[in-house]
């Protein structure tokens, strides 16, 4: 390969798009490193504190698309204080100062201020795509800036963000000259939107393929939008409440029938059960159906809807579908790959409507199933063993029994054998979340069999340090490990500190690790940031090494201690 | 400052995970319950072999509990919650359409009102609505101090009782957190608020 001019290599590298592969390419030799870095356009940074914006810019001057993740995953469940970190402003500031022609920014679990959005909107002439997932810190004013200033905006995708909705006219801020929109998702906004502005925007966006509305968009507006955008591929319905005998409903039926390209349907944030038949004409082509925000949709009407969806590959649903409903899914959706069943009543244990039976039915009826998120009332070893046999292709298996230490209700045994069967059968398993009564044994199985495992979430499990040791020793590809309320202490933590450098991060909360143990890790491994999060002020007054640490988050980094940590975070 | 035990229960999400002591115990009915003396013992690690020999349902029952659940077992049932469980994003609020009605008391008014916090998206909207509701009063627009005439307009301070039973000033925490933790509202006469030394504006004002 030394005989090829650089341009040829560059052309070859163009075909290599996966981040992992490009990273590997850059390690071959200096010349490849150089060519790769100048030609790299897309960069993924899984932990925003592992590298600095300056170094990113220095290495990849041709950067066009940046993906950044901030807070640890457990922040989703209120285990991380609000202002822990993950601020995007310094990144945008640094990129703005440089000559980077940023076109796409994708953020997850980051704090995004209106100032950052405004700076972003004014600094990059060719900016095209903003995707914010589980972020917070901004208001609709920031969105207004994006709408007003990004002249070539193609994508504005807001997923599950905490947005302070000022009920402003951000939608009206898209200028008349903006006709480039391909994707617009504002389903997570709670406030009113200017419906007229929305209609006009959709009218002048001939390339619009994805439109997800919020609850404030009523049915008659939906009908008008669909008439103007029959080319939609992905639709998120806001409010779906109306009188089935009304003119609006008839018009809607006609409009929906014109939308022959819709493959993905979500929303129904407000729904009237008796009007679902209007949707049937598009059900036959759906590959993704997300009804997890529609508690009003249940029972027979829900069943009928699902029975029309024969090509479904991904289904997100609430547990009010029940085991019987999952049986209907099993009979109908033979192409199903991904199933997510969310709890409709998460804080009332005992009310979950699905059990191991529903899961077994789906596993039997849907052999292509490879991704699962399942909140349920109970689980048995026998069911898990059956599921493992039926579906050996799981890549993601996340099980959440609402009562966190519940044993197999039939045998009263821990669920070690059941999960053991899963990891043994599913040789490609990359992500696993455990729940139920579990001993060290399940971790022995995981260490032995889960060779491809990259992410593991553990809660209220195990009996001793051995559990954690089995995992750390056995899972060679482990990248993220998050643990809460397990009896793992310093012995496990300190056994192999070098391992943490091969991982992105480790989270341990309400375990048995002590301050002294954490200090020891920090001392031995300068390439790690070891953070102690303690809001109780104990750290101020009681620096005893034997003290147990409430929350510890450690991650590898190339840039040392971060400077933006709040006062209750100690970086050792 | 509450004890370390209380710290584990800082969850103020909507709803509660009703862990009755019975549900956590793996022993037979009639077994002696977990006592606070036994708590410390339960926290100790057990070896793998002990676990293997564990005969669930036997008389020599040991209950294995994570920290959070141990604390939950000790507390009165009604207040028992485990932080961050189940692992569902609080944002989702996927459940039955929730309405969060809270009582609103105004010092000096003969009767209370009720408002549904879920219909508002910000402190501004809530206070405006309260002003409409109690139209003969002027509620201190604490969130936007620039507008308020310091001499004439201020009459009432909006306060609320949170899930821990503490009375808090409206506006310090993010809106959604407020909605989840607010049990009732009280518009307190500003004259009674004198001496609280409230010089700094709350964090989550409309000017932020």
Comparing A63-72, A553-562, B156-165, B194-203, the range with the smallest average pLDDT is B194-203
Give the angle subtended at the CA of A239 by the CAs of A234 and A243, to the nearest 5°.
Answer: 120
Task: Name the token pair of B69.
Answer: 């659940």
Mutate to test the interface with B, among A510, A511, A538 (most CBs of B within 10 A): A510
Nearest-Cα distance to chain A for B43, in Å, is 8
A49: helix, strand or coil: coil
- A569, A539 contact by CB (below 8 A): no
Which among B18, B68, B174 is the nearest to A82, CB-wise? B174
DSSP 8-state code for residue A173: G
- Residues with Cβ within 8 Å of B68's Cβ and at least 6 positions away in sequence, in order, are A460, A484, A485, A510, B8, B82, B83, B85
Residue closest to B89 by CA, chosen among A322, A38, A405, A340: A340
Q: CB contact, 8 Å: B52 with chain A? A: yes
CB pair distance less than 8 Å for A465 and B45 = yes
Comparing A520-534, A549-563, B30-44, the range with the smallest average pLDDT is B30-44
- In the Cβ-directed half-sphere of B96, how many Cα atoms lie within 13 Å? 9
DSSP A500-560: GGGSSEEEEESSB-BHHHHHHHHHH-TTEEEEEE-TTSHHHH---TTSBPSEEEEEE-SS-
Give the strand pairing for A162-164 and A136-139: parallel
- In the Cβ-directed half-sphere of A27, how many Cα atoms lie within 13 Å? 6
Which among A188, A465, A510 is the nearest to B66, CB-wise? A510
The average pLDDT across A19-39 equals 91
- In the Cβ-directed half-sphere of A217, how many Cα atoms lie within 13 Å? 30
The average pLDDT across A406-430 equals 97
Q: CB contact, 8 Å: A292 with chain B? A: yes
CB pair distance less than 8 Å for B56 and A375 = no
- What confidence tier does A6 reach under pLDDT thresholds 50, 70, 90? confident
Which among B1, B7, B68 is the nearest to A485, CB-wise? B68
DSSP A52-71: -HHHHHHH-TT--EEEEE-S
Give the angle subtended at the CA of A163 by the CAs of A157 and A164, to the nearest 5°.
Answer: 145
DSSP A404-449: TT---TTT---SHHHHHHHHHH-TT--EEE--SS--HHHHHHHHHH
- What confidence tier does A338 reach under pLDDT thresholds 50, 70, 90? very high
Q: Which residue of B has its CA nearest to A267?
A: B94
Comparing A436-445, B72-81, B129-138, the range with the smallest average pLDDT is B72-81
Residues of chain A with pLDDT > 70, as a percent, come to 97
Which among B16, B18, B121 is the nearest to A190, CB-wise? B121
- What confidence tier does B99 reach under pLDDT thresholds 50, 70, 90? low
Q: What is the pLDDT of residue A396?
A: 98
Q: CB contact, 8 Å: B94 with chain A? A: yes
The average pLDDT across A40-61 equals 96
Comparing A107-116, A481-490, B157-166, the range with the smallest average pLDDT is B157-166
The average pLDDT across A105-112 equals 97
Q: CB contact, 8 Å: B7 with chain A? A: yes
Q: CB contact, 8 Å: A464 with chain B? A: yes
Q: CB contact, 8 Å: B15 with chain A? A: yes
Residues in B closer than 8 angstroms to A162, CB to CB, are 91, 174, 176
Nearest-Cα distance to chain A for B136, in Å, is 26
Q: Is the ipTM of this complex over 0.85?
A: no
Q: CB contact, 8 Å: B91 with chain A? A: yes
User: Which whole-number Å values give the CA distances from A65 to A25, A48, A97, A558, in the listed order?
Assistant: 19, 15, 16, 21
Nearest-Cα distance to chain B for A453, in Å, is 20
Residue closest to A457 by CA, chosen among A428, A425, A477, A486: A486
Mean pLDDT over all residues of chain B? 59
Task: Name the token pair of A550.
Answer: 């409430």
Q: What confidence tens digit (pLDDT) does each residue in A199-212 have?
A: 999 999 999 999 99
A198: helix, strand or coil: helix
- What confidence tier does B114 reach under pLDDT thresholds 50, 70, 90? confident
Rounded CA separation A341/A316 (Å): 6
CATH architecture of B104-194: Roll (3.10)
Q: CA Rg, chain A, in Å?
A: 25
Helices (H), A310-411: 322-332, 356-365, 381-390
Task: Name the token pair of A99.
Answer: 């000559």
- Say if residue A34's pLDDT is above 50: yes
The average pLDDT across A433-444 equals 97
Q: What is the pLDDT of residue A295?
A: 79
A7 vs A148: which has the higher pLDDT? A148
Neighbouring-strand partners of residue A294: none
- In the Cβ-directed half-sphere of A37, how many Cα atoms lie within 13 Å? 15
Judged by phi (left if over 0) then psi (alpha if -120 to 50, else beta), residue A299 lies in left
CB pair distance less than 8 Å for A78 and B11 = yes
Most confident of A38-42, A287-291, B23-27: A287-291
Rounded CA separation A164/A104 (Å): 23
The average pLDDT across A339-344 equals 93
- Say if residue B56's pLDDT is above 60: no
CB pair distance less than 8 Å for A344 and B95 = yes
Q: CB contact, 8 Å: B85 with chain A? A: yes
Nearest-Cα distance to chain B for A444, in Å, is 11
CA A191 to chain centre: 24
End-to-end CA distance of chain A: 46
- A126, A154 contact by CB (below 8 A): no
pTM score, whole prediction: 0.77
Q: What confidence tens digit (pLDDT) does each residue in A367-389 have?
A: 999 999 999 999 999 999 999 99
Chain B segment 169-198 residues within 8 A of A by beta carbon are: 174-176
The average pLDDT across B37-55 equals 35
Residues in A closer than 8 angstroms to B85, CB to CB, are 77, 404, 459
For residue A249, report the phi and psi dihedrals to the nearest 5 degrees: -65, -40
Rounded CA separation A358/A371 (Å): 15
- Say if residue A568's pLDDT is above 70: yes
Which among A82, A342, A412 is the nearest to B88, CB-wise? A342
The average pLDDT across B102-113 equals 85
Q: CB contact, 8 Å: A216 with chain B? A: no
Rounded CA separation A277/A531 (Å): 54
- Residues with Cβ within 8 Å of A484's Cβ and at least 6 positions away in sequence, in order, are A74, A79, A458, A459, A460, A507, A508, A509, A510, A511, B66, B68, B84
Which among B7, B17, B23 is the nearest to A347, CB-wise? B17
Q: What is the pLDDT of residue A383?
A: 97
DSSP 8-state code for residue A191: S
Q: CB contact, 8 Å: A74 with chain B? A: yes
Which among A162, A347, A512 is the nearest to B14, CB-wise? A347
- Residues with Cβ within 8 Å of A507's Cβ and at least 6 positions away in sequence, in order, are A72, A73, A74, A481, A482, A483, A484, A551, A552, A553
Q: What is the pLDDT of residue A167?
A: 72
For residue A195, report the phi and psi dihedrals to the nearest 5 degrees: -65, -40
Comparing A216-220, A328-332, A465-469, the range with the smallest average pLDDT is A216-220
Neighbouring-strand partners of residue A235: A211, A265
Q: What is the pLDDT of residue B15?
A: 40
- A338, A371 contact by CB (below 8 A): yes
Secondary element (H or E) of residue A466: helix A465-474
Give the strand pairing for A455-459 and A480-484: parallel
Nearest-Cα distance to chain B for A537, in Å, is 10
A307: helix, strand or coil: helix
Rounded CA separation B52/B65 (Å): 17
Rounded CA separation B104/A204 (Å): 47
Rounded CA separation A185/A106 (Å): 14
CB pair distance less than 8 Å for B48 and A190 = no
Which among B67, B94, B96 is the nearest to A342, CB-wise? B94
The average pLDDT across B21-45 equals 40
CB pair distance less than 8 Å for A134 and B89 = yes
DSSP 8-state code for residue A74: G
Mean pLDDT over all residues of chain A? 93
- What confidence tier does A87 reach under pLDDT thresholds 50, 70, 90? very high
């Amino acid at each position: 390969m030394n005989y090829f001019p650089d341009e040829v290599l560059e052309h070859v590298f163009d075909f290599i798009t996966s981040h992992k592969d490009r990273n590997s390419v850059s390690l071959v030799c200096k010349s490849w490193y150089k060519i790769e870095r100048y030609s790299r356009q897309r960069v993924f940074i899984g932990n925003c504190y592992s590298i600095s914006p300056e170094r990113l810019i220095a290495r990849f001057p041709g950067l066009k698309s940046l993906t950044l993740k901030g807070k640890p995953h457990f922040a989703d469940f209120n285990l991380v204080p609000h202002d822990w970190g993950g601020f995007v402003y310094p990144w945008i500031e640094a990129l703005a100062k440089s000559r980077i022609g940023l076109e796409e920014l994708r953020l997850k679990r980051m704090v995004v201020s209106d100032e950052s959005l405004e700076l972003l909107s004014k600094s990059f002439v060719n900016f095209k795509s903003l995707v914010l997932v589980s972020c917070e810190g901004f208001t609709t004013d920031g969105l207004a800036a994006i709408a007003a200033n990004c002249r070539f905006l193609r994508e504005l995708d807001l997923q599950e963000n905490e947005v302070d909705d000022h009920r402003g006219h951000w939608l009206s801020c898209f200028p008349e000259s903006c006709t480039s929109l391909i994707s617009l998702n504002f389903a997570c906004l709670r406030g009113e939107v200017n419906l007229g502005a929305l209609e006009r925007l959709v009218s002048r966006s001939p390339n619009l393929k994805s439109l997800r509305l919020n609850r404030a968009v009523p049915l008659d507006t939906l009908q008008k939008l669909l008439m103007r955008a029959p080319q939609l591929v992905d639709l998120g319905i806001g409010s779906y409440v109306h009188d089935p005998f009304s003119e609006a409903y008839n018009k809607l039926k006609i409009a929906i029938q014109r939308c022959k390209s819709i493959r993905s349907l979500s929303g129904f944030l407000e729904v009237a059960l008796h009007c679902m038949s209007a949707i049937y004409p598009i059900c036959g082509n759906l590959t993704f159906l997300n009804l997890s925000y529609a508690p009003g949709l249940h029972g027979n009407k829900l069943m009928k809807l699902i029975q029309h969806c024969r090509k479904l590959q991904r289904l997100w649903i609430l547990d009010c579908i029940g085991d019987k409903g999952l049986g209907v899914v099993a009979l109908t959706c033979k192409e199903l790959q991904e199933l997510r069943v969310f709890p409709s009543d998460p804080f009332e244990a005992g009310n979950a409507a699905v059990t191991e039976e529903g899961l077994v039915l789906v596993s039997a009826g849907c052999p292509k199933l490879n991704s699962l998120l399942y909140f349920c009332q109970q689980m048995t070893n026998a069911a898990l063993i059956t599921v493992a046999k039926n579906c050996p292709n799981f890549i993601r298996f996340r099980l959440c029994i609402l009562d966190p230490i519940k044993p197999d209700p039939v045998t009263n045994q821990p669920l070690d054998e059941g999960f053991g069967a899963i990891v043994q059968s599913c040789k490609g398993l990359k992500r696993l979340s455990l729940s139920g009564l579990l001993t060290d044994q399940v971790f022995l199985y995981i260490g032995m069999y889960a060779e491809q495992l990259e992410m593991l979430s553990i809660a209220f499990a195990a009996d001793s340090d051995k559990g954690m040791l089995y995992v750390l020793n056995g899972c060679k590809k482990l990248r993220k490990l998050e643990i809460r309320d397990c009896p793992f202490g310093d012995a496990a933590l300190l056994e192999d500190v070098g391992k943490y450098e091969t991982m992105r991060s480790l989270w341990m909360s309400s375990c048995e690790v002590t301050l002294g143990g954490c200090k020891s890790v920090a001392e031995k491994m300068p390439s790690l940031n070891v953070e102690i999060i303690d809001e109780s002020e104990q750290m101020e007054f009681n620096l005893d090494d034997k003290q147990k640490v409430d929350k510890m988050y450690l991650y590898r980094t190339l840039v040392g201690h971060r400077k933006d940590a709040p006062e209750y975070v100690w970086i050792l | 400052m509450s004890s370390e035990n209380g710290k584990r229960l800082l969850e103020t999400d909507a709803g509660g995970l009703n862990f009755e002591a019975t549900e956590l115990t793996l022993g037979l009915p009639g077994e002696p319950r977990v006592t606070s003396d036994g708590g410390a013992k339960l926290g100790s690690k057990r070896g793998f072999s002990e676990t293997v020999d564990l005969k669930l349902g036997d008389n020599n029952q040991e209950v294995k509990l994570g920290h959070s659940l141990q604390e939950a077992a000790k507390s009165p049932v009604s207040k028992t919650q485990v932080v961050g469980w189940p692992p569902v994003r609080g944002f989702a609020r996927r459940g039955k359409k929730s309405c969060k009605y809270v009582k609103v008391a105004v010092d000096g008014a003969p009767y209370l009102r009720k408002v549904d916090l879920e219909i508002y998206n910000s402190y501004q909207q809530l206070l405006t609505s309260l002003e409409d509701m109690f139209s003969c009063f002027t509620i201190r627009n604490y969130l936007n101090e620039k507008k308020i005439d310091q001499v004439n307009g201020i009459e009432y301070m909006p306060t609320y009782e949170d899930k821990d039973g503490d009375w808090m000033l409206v506006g310090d925490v993010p809106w959604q957190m407020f909605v989840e933790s607010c049990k009732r509202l009280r518009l307190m006469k500003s004259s009674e608020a004198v001496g609280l030394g409230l010089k700094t504006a709350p964090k989550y004002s409309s000017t932020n």
